[in-house]
Amino acid sequence: MTSPTDGRLSRRSLFTLTGGAVLAAGVAGAGPVQAAPAPGPAGPATVPATGMHVVTLGTAAGPAVRGPRAGIATAVVVDGDVYLVDCGLGVTRQVKNAGLTMDRLRGIFLTHLHSDHTSELPALLLYNWGPAVSGITQPLPIIGPGQARLPRGAAVHVQPATGGTRRLVADLLSSYAYDVNIRVFDEDRPPLEDLLLAREIDLPRGVHADPDRHPCPPMEPFEVYRDEHVRVLATLVDHPPVFPAFAFRFESAHGAVVLSGDTTEHPNTVRLAQDADVLVHEAIDLDYYLAQDLPEAYVQHLADSHTDLEGAGRVAAQAGVGALVLSHLGGIFTDADADRARAVFARTTVADDGQVFSVAG
């Protein structure tokens, strides 16, 4: 496997949106980013066959359905090959709507094991498996957290108490064993167990982390995947009480894209996103939830585990990114809701489902 071209991190690329709007990575203080409408019933978004593109397949936080947005899932497309980050509610239909065929899927990356990031992994794989459906026919890495551990004192209601990416994939195969076996027998599909390569992310030597005392120690980004198109780096992010939780950076000859995963505002994310062309960062408007009749513990979790609009802007500004795209949206509904982030970092837009952001090197 060859390494992607070096020397792309300091570049300020032109950054465009499918639909004709342009996001110019200009000087600080530039006007608000203009966002094109997301694709509607007229047809899927067009993802160019060459270059590097981010497709915000689903942009909603969860696990609750509070509007029409699909659950969190993002595709990074590099010269036609697809790398999928998280598998939230609706991703199976969203990849189809975006015109992405899963025979070009090169890897799935899970930021953490909350259900709103993993719940549609079974459907994505079972609906996109085998040549008859333009699905996966070659070994597919599924890369995510290792042994996810409960914090001290948490009651165990379902055994076993710990899990990880390997167990998630193994249990998926076990749960759908009849379907998999009968389709291999009846439809000549390739054995699915041979195609799914679950890989758990091991922390670098010297990084000491645990869910109680050090869930997110300061650290340097480290490589978790590489092929002829991309190098993928990861870092721990702070999403208490979930442990571990990761953010990912995709580097290619065209540029660099960073996806924050679920996290509070944290220096590790700033370090990972340094000089990236595009930062896709989660954001929450806590005022929306405070105005609802919601359990106090739930609202406290949101405050402790997520990033407010100003915080997302600060991360983008400190990292010196080309453009900030807000996704995994909580209490944020339109681009106008991003004004508090834009007051900190002008080149900010709120993503819509199915939007395509292109990095033009």
How would residue 160 be classed by pLDDT, with cut points 50, 70 and 90?
confident
pLDDT score for 193: 97
pLDDT at 7 over 80: no
pLDDT 10s digits, 45-73: 589 999 999 999 999 999 989 899 999 99
Distance CA 238, CA 150 (A): 15
pLDDT 10s digits, 196-214: 999 999 999 999 999 998 9
- Name the helix (H) or strand (E) containing 153: none
- What average pLDDT does the chain have? 88
Which pTM value belongs to this model? 0.90
pLDDT score for 45: 57
pLDDT at 29 over 80: no
The rounded percent of the chain whose pLDDT value lies above 70 is 87
Helices and strands (H, E) in the chain, number of each type:
11, 16
Q: How does DSSP assign 45-107, residue by residue? A: PP--SSSEEEEEEE-B-SSS--SSPPBSEEEEEETTEEEEE---TTHHHHHHHTT--GGGEEE
Cβ atoms of 4 and 230 closer than 8 Å = yes
pLDDT 10s digits, 72-117: 999 999 999 999 999 999 999 999 999 999 999 999 999 999 999 9
Q: Closest Cα to residue 319, out of 262, 256, 246, 251?
A: 256
